[in-house]
Structure 1
Amino acid sequence: MTAEIDVLVLGGAGVDTIVHVPELPVPLADSHMIRPGIVTRAGQSGDFVALGTSALGLRTHHLDLIGDDHEGDLVRALHRDHGIALTAVPQPCGTKRAVNLVGPDGRRLSLYDATRGSETDRLPEETVRGLAAVSRHAHVVITQPCADALPLLREAGVTISTDLHDWDGVNPYHETFALAADLVFLSAAALTDPEAVMRRIAARGRAEAVVATAGAEGAYLLADGELTHVPAAEPPAPVVDSNGAGDAFAAAFLYGRLGGEDALHCARLGAVAGAYACTVPSTRVAAVGPEALLAGVAGHVPGTLSGA
């Protein structure tokens, strides 16, 4: 069957309420005056990956559980406005939502509403199979219903990527995703030894490449048994917020990978996209386009072999 979808994104659709705070952690006080204000907008991990791949010209389809509520309307509008196909499975518990506390330096603390889902949530098997059958690649967000879809995606023969975010390298929940994916992204923020965790993922699972992002320090790429340090790219404007930077990195990496580029070049694309995302205020959603991405990577410093 001919592929109609380049990237099928599973999970991670939701709404964030952005609250700017004077610093993180928030100083204990009876109240704080918040500027530039409090804004609620659609856009969580899966939304940002879908936005990123779509902006780069990849045919993208997003699948998730979404409620019949105001937050769900915001998610549906985001996809409609950006021309991203969306299959919204009804979620009686409501659409995923979170509060993001954003400090002056762009760092954030996310508070997720754990009531917007249940242990019995599932993505319909027929829907997953049908979309996977016409997809080249699936990016799976680590939200609870998506773990059960991994075997279905594997049966369909699509390649799989996932983002473990700030995994500590120990929590068993993340391992299901890490060991099933061909391409694994994670943040180095909670890891004392990123290289050891990356090599363990590659040895125990099926990952051809593992990427650990490290903010201003760039990223580490493990591919073909070699660990390479990929420097951070120069942001095209002042850094205002790190929200969505990891998702932008993943989207650009997939753009390169599906275009036949080697892993190091893909990581360099990711670094440029991640830097661009850091210049976008948390109250907005925007992704780098192909021309700006390719121009940015042309001036990016190549990676060097490193012992993270």
Structure 2
Amino acid sequence: MTAETDVLVLGGAGVDTIVHVPELPVPLADSHMIRPGIVTRAGQSGDFFALGTSALGLRTHHLDLIGDDHEGDLVRALHRDHGIALTAVPQPCGTKRAVNLVGPDGRRLSLYDATRWAETDRLPEETVRGLAAASRHAHVVITQPCDRALPVLRETGVTISTDLHDWDGANPYHEPFALAADLVFLSAAALPDPEATMRRITARGRARIVVATAGAEGAYLLADGELTHVPAAEPPAPVVDSNGAGDAFAAAFVHGWLGGEPAVHCARLGAVAGAHACTVPSTRVAAIGPEALRAGVTGRAPGTADGA
């Protein structure tokens, strides 16, 4: 049976309020004048990943717990405006939200509202099973309660990817995601020894590919036991914000991987998409398209024919 969906995204739907600050850490003061202002918009990790895969032509379906509130309306509108299928499970606690403090250099500090979930939260098993059975691949965000869906996904036989973000290699919360996925992304920012953590993931779990992103230093790819350094791509415009860069990297990598591309080429695609994301202001959501992605890898300007 032909799959109806290329990528099922679980979790990570929410709303961010963007606050530009003079520097990070924020200097202690009674007040600061903020420019270009304070903006609230839909878009958290799962949203950004879904936007990325959809913009690259993959049929994408997003599943998460979403509240009947203003933030939920923003999330539903984001998906509707970008043509991304969304299954919203009612969340009495409300839609996930966060405040992102963004410095002049594009770095950010995220403050997540921990009241927007409960220990009893669950994604309905039959909903997960049905959507996964109709999908080629599932990307699982580490937001609660997506870990509970991992066994169901494994039963369906769908391949799984996840992003552990700034895992320190020790926090037990991340381990179910790290060990259940076939393809694991994480940031090297909090890892004292990225290679050791990457190899531990492959030794203990199912993954045969692990990617650790390292910002301007590029990324490290562990595929079939071989570690490769992938240089960072040149941003196509000035860097203004790093928000969503890791999600863009993962989305472009999965795009290449589902297309049968070698892992090293997938990582190059990810590097280009991540660099593009760093040029998009945090107040907006915009993902790289297939033409610009190809151009970033080949070094040609978009619209230039092969051999020109």
- Give TM-score scaled by structure 1 length: 0.97
Alignment of 1:286-297 (within 5 A): 286-297=286-297
Q: Distance in 2 between matches of 1:300 and 1:122?
A: 46
Contact 1:98 1:112 in 2 (8 A): yes
Using the TM superposition, give the Cα deviation of residue 197 of structure 1 relative to its aligned residue in structure 2, in angstroms.
0.3
Contact 1:248 1:277 in 2 (8 A): yes
Cα distance, 1:228–1:144 mapped onto 2, change above 3 Å: same
What is aligned with 2:183? 183
Paired residue secondary structure (1:6): strand
**1:31-85 CA deviation, whole Å, 9 max, x = no partner?**
0000000000000000000000000000000000000000000000000000000
Identity %: 91
Cα distance, 1:181–1:61 mapped onto 2, change above 3 Å: same
Q: Distance in 1 between matches of 2:78 and 2:291?
A: 23
Q: How many corresponding residue pairs?
A: 308
Q: Distance in 1 between matches of 2:168 and 2:305?
A: 24
Cα distance, 1:230–1:129 mapped onto 2, change above 3 Å: same
Q: Distance in 1 between matches of 2:173 and 2:307?
A: 27
Q: Distance in 2 between matches of 1:30 and 1:111?
A: 20
Cα distance, 1:18–1:288 mapped onto 2, change above 3 Å: same
Paired residue secondary structure (1:132): helix
Q: Distance in 2 between matches of 1:185 and 1:305?
A: 33
Contact 2:295 2:301 in 1 (8 A): no
Unpaired stretches in structure 2, ≥5 consecutive residues: none
Paired residue secondary structure (2:27): coil
Q: Distance in 2 between matches of 1:85 and 1:305?
A: 33
**1:146-190 CA deviation, whole Å, 9 max, x = no partner?**
001001000000000000000000001100000000000000000
Using the TM superposition, give the Cα deviation of residue 2 of structure 1 relative to its aligned residue in structure 2, in angstroms.
2.0
Residue 283, structure 1, aligned to residue 275, structure 2: no
Using the TM superposition, give the Cα deviation of residue 304 of structure 1 relative to its aligned residue in structure 2, in angstroms.
28
Q: Distance in 2 between matches of 1:304 and 1:190?
A: 40
**1:74-116 CA deviation, whole Å, 9 max, x = no partner?**
0000000000000000000000000000000000000000000
Q: Distance in 1 between matches of 2:260 and 2:237?
A: 30
Using the TM superposition, give the Cα deviation of residue 299 of structure 1 relative to its aligned residue in structure 2, in angstroms.
2.9
Unpaired stretches in structure 1, ≥5 consecutive residues: none
Cα distance, 1:302–1:220 mapped onto 2, change above 3 Å: farther
Paired residue secondary structure (1:48): helix
Using the TM superposition, give the Cα deviation of residue 298 of structure 1 relative to its aligned residue in structure 2, in angstroms.
1.1
Cα distance, 1:302–1:264 mapped onto 2, change above 3 Å: farther
Q: Distance in 2 between matches of 1:180 and 1:77?
A: 32
Contact 1:218 1:233 in 2 (8 A): yes
- Give TM-score scaled by structure 2 length: 0.97
